[in-house]
Amino acid sequence: MSDVRYFNFPVALLRDFMTDSQSVLKNILYYSLYSHSLRLDYGDEMERFKNAIDYYEMPIFPTPDVFYEAQDVYEFMPVNLPMVGLNTEIFLRFFLSTKSDYEKATLLGFLAIKSILGGKSYCKIDNRFWLSRMDGLSRSCDIYLLSDGIRKYSTEYMTKKIKNELKDNWGLKSYSRYTRGFYVSFDMSLENLVKTAEAARKAVKEKQKRLEEKALVQKALMEIKASQ
């Protein structure tokens, strides 16, 4: 596992992946290579860029045109955007072969959850935020604002299908019994995720019960005061 290397890039680069995946993947590649080159200490810009290509073992030739295009991709991206990591083996599978729209949507579903989790071992999300992040957006938005390529996967049938694929083949653990949204994790066991979700649900129910009791007490006191 220590040999697995990751491209780290802003989720905004995923925009338009459903309609032009090769251009998006190329931008992810260029952004990641240039970003890595900035962290190297030795050599001029071009030498550091070549070393980044060697580090990731990417099948491209470091011409000046490639370097300047990578620089443009990196410098065009705003700062403080949500980031996500993609291991280079998965990247090359999609970069070097043709994939179906469903396979592309599944990859986006995987990356969206990873970006939302960030450094957390688990979290609770809803479909709207998940789909928005699949579309390369930082914040949750209404379904009608999503791109056509993502919106067609927003039905209950398709969201469930993608989640099941991620659970079966991408290492996702997910739980959604009596919850608004669903809990996700790639690190926790399903058993621990269920325990965590149920504990959180119990805590919410108890808090709601206390608030309801407090409201009833306040109402009763006001009625008593009014009747005196």
Residues paired with 185 in a beta bridge: 173
Provide the domain count of the chain: 2
Last residue within a domain, chosen from 61, 95, 129? 95
CB-based contacts of 184: which residues, under 8 Å, 6+ apart? 113, 116, 117, 122, 123, 124, 125, 172, 173, 174
Whether 65 and 137 share a structural domain: no
1 falls within a domain: no
Give the range of the structural domain holding residue 34, as residue numbers without chain letter. Answer: 6-95
216 falls within a domain: no
Roughly what angle, to the nearest 10 degrees, separates helices 64-76 and 21-38?
Answer: 90
Q: Does residue 136 contact residue 17 with C-beta atoms inside 8 Å?
A: yes
Whether 110 and 174 share a structural domain: yes
What does the pLDDT read at residue 1? 42
d(CA 12, CA 100) in angstroms, rounded, equals 22
Whether 17 and 50 share a structural domain: yes
206 falls within a domain: no
What does the pLDDT read at residue 226? 75
Classify residue 197 as exposed, middle or buried by CB count within 10 Å of its CB (0-12, 13-18, 19+): buried
156 falls within a domain: yes
Last residue within a domain, chosen from 75, 95, 115? 95
Last residue within a domain, chosen from 42, 70, 95? 95
- pLDDT in tens for each of the 228 residues of the chain? 457 899 999 999 999 999 999 999 999 999 999 999 999 998 899 999 999 999 999 989 989 999 999 999 999 999 899 999 999 999 999 999 999 999 999 999 999 999 999 999 999 999 999 999 999 999 999 999 999 999 999 999 999 999 999 999 999 999 987 778 899 999 999 999 999 888 877 666 666 667 667 777 677 767 777 777
